[in-house]
Amino acid sequence: MILSFTPQNFPDYQLIDSGNFWKLERFGTFITIRPEPQAVWDPAERMYEWEKQAHVKFVPKSSSSGDWQKLKTMPDQWNIAYHVPGQKIAHKIQFRLGLTSFKHVGIFPEQAVNWDYIAQSVHQLKMDKPKFLNLFAYTGGASLAAKAAGADTSHLDSIKQVVTWAKENMELSKLDNIRWIVEDALKFVKREVKRGNKYHGIILDPPAFGHGPDGEKWKLEDNINEMMKNVLQLLDEQKHFLILNAYSLGFSSLILENLVKENFKPQNLEIGELYLKDSFDKNLPLGAFARFKKF
């Protein structure tokens, strides 16, 4: 089954326009202009019209870094919120955003549909503190959603500063007791297999390229198959759910489907694309996913 998703209930975020390899977005009360390699079409409005609206524009200096040009007064850091659905009432998780030199601001808003899926799955497990593992966890949206839903949550990223940022988001969200791990994801998973540890839920959102804290190299197409074979051994045999997400140009959801089917043979596999719809009805693709659950 092929599915596509865009967040439906995220008032603090809006994709206003996209095109010409750029995107115009609102995060809370502030509007940003950032590069977007998948926006190959024409924008609905011209750049000078975007700049009238925007508070800040990212100016690339290289393929991986750049500076922010402030067009209006705004802080370098600010907060936004997302309401994760709950059994009785939604839990508000909060994020501290910031203008980084890598064009990111500290959140991938298209991932909100995965946060919803995690929270709903944790509730459906109907057990006290199911164990949840977030690999390549960034600033922790999935970790916060799992914790808010009642999971015993472990958060892993290879960059210490990013894990510190995620911890700050936990505190803003009035949550606690997330397990923080700064380590290479593949090394950690292999060790967890040897320890015999099991999890009821796992999400992986690996980058195309990356490095561990000790210089370990990660390349998506070279390492993802080995990773999935190890993750298979970490899932609880009776009850579990898994999300595999990948944002890499040319990395099809069919690749993820094959990886999951080969290793897990799930009965209710869903695959497709995450996307954001702009105000002019253009859909911006932002990652392929595969997900399934067994309860």
Domain ranges of the chain: 106-294
Residue 150 dihedral angles phi and psi, to the nearest 5°: 110, 10
CA end-to-end span of the chain, whole Å?
Answer: 19
Conformation bin of residue 150: beta by default, left when phi > 0, alpha when psi is -120 to 50: left
Predicted confidence at residue 250, as pLDDT, reads 74
Q: What is the pLDDT of residues 25-68, one digit of tens each?
A: 999 999 999 999 999 999 999 999 999 999 999 999 988 899 99
Report the number of secondary-structure helices (H) and strands (E) in the chain.
7, 17
Q: What is the pLDDT of residues 195-221, one digit of tens each?
A: 999 999 999 999 989 999 999 999 999
Q: What is the pLDDT of residues 94-128, one digit of tens each?
A: 999 999 999 999 999 999 999 999 999 999 999 99
User: H or E element: which one contains 260?
Assistant: helix 253-264
Q: What does the alpha-carbon distance between residue 94 and residue 172 come to, in Å, rounded to a whole number?
A: 6
Amino acid at 106: G
What lies within 8 Å, CB to CB, of 262 at 6+ separation is 228
- Provide the mean pLDDT of the chain: 95
pTM tops 0.85, yes or no: yes
What's the CATH architecture for 106-294? 3-Layer(aba) Sandwich (3.40)
Tokens of 39: 């926006």
Please say whether the beta carbons of 271 and 289 come within 8 A: yes
